[in-house]
Amino acid sequence: MSPGQQAQPKLPIAGVKNLIAVGSGKGGVGKTTVSVNLAIALAHLGYRTGLLDADVYGPNVPLMMGTSATPTAVGERIQPLENYGVSLMSMGFLNPGDKPLVWRGPMLHSVIQQFLRGVDWGDLDYLIIDLPPGTGDVQLSLIQTAPVTGAVVVTTPSAVSLEDARKAVLMFQQVKVPVLGIVENMSYLQCPHCNERIDVFSNGGGRRTAEAMSVNFLGMLPLDPHVRIGGDTGHPVATAGPEDKCGGVYYELAKVVMDRAREAAAITGPTMTVSD
């Protein structure tokens, strides 16, 4: 935003208590996998949860959530789809197949605002926003116009991923969005034969980066074939419940994210209201 340009008001989204943005500095770190399983875990823990796929150019939520229906409208309000107890909206529902979108900034801004305010989300405790990777137009359109409770930054332990994760943290801080913390995805592979832990993408970088940037470290998520299979088949591992070996880590993440969101709200004050 240029000097002297007034910031747009961050108007509450009717019915939504907490808006949690999940971002990353680069692609390929499993950000959507984290978003999907986090949303399912929150729903299974008893919270009214929605998931907005804001990755307009590469929407993967429909595949991972196992639904490809077309949303309907009631009056001027789009009705979200639902699966696994999570309300869903994605450009993938409106533009199915392999046809690419070739849109510039103003069109991206328009569709993001439509997804935020033109969708009948109902009353939600948490609306998880799966952002596209990077620090571009979609991210700025969202966080400059909606009162985001906080942001979760996803990285892997590799030096390349961490370099970009730092940029994502700084972007959120620059626009005054509380960073709930960094989660390290694909932290390690547990060999199913010898039970040896293999650090495929190095180790510990997420925690060190969080400490260096004075933000919370939200935990480590393993690299597990079942997570990939669950996403590819539309049955994410979190659907197996908190006692499941693979799915359980996302329930632990969900609890930590809720704690950090409460802390952020206590500092900044309530950012959203639930409609009557």
Domain segments of the chain as ranges: 16-267
| CATH class of the domain comprising 16-267 | alpha beta
Instruction: Please report which confidence band the pLDDT of residue 125 belongs to, taking 50, 70 and 90 as the band edges.
Output: very high
Instruction: Please report which confidence band the pLDDT of residue 260 belongs to, taking 50, 70 and 90 as the band edges.
Output: very high
Reading across the β-sheet that carries 124-130, which strands appear in turn? 81-83, 86-90, 49-53, 124-130, 16-23, 150-155, 179-184, 217-220
pLDDT, tens digit (0-9, with 9 covering 90-100), for 45-92? 999 999 999 887 778 999 999 998 999 999 889 999 999 999 999 988
Structure tokens at 111: 């569709």
Q: Which long-range contacts (CB under 8 A, 24 or more apart) does 71-76 make?
A: 74/120, 76/118
Sign of CA dihedral 25, 31, 34, 38: positive
Q: What is the pLDDT of residue 98?
A: 59
Cα 56 to Cα 53, 94, 110, 236, distances in angstroms: 7, 10, 12, 21
The lowest-confidence range among 62-66, 115-119, 259-263 is 115-119
The answer to whether residues 265 and 149 touch, using CB atoms and an 8 Å cutoff, is yes
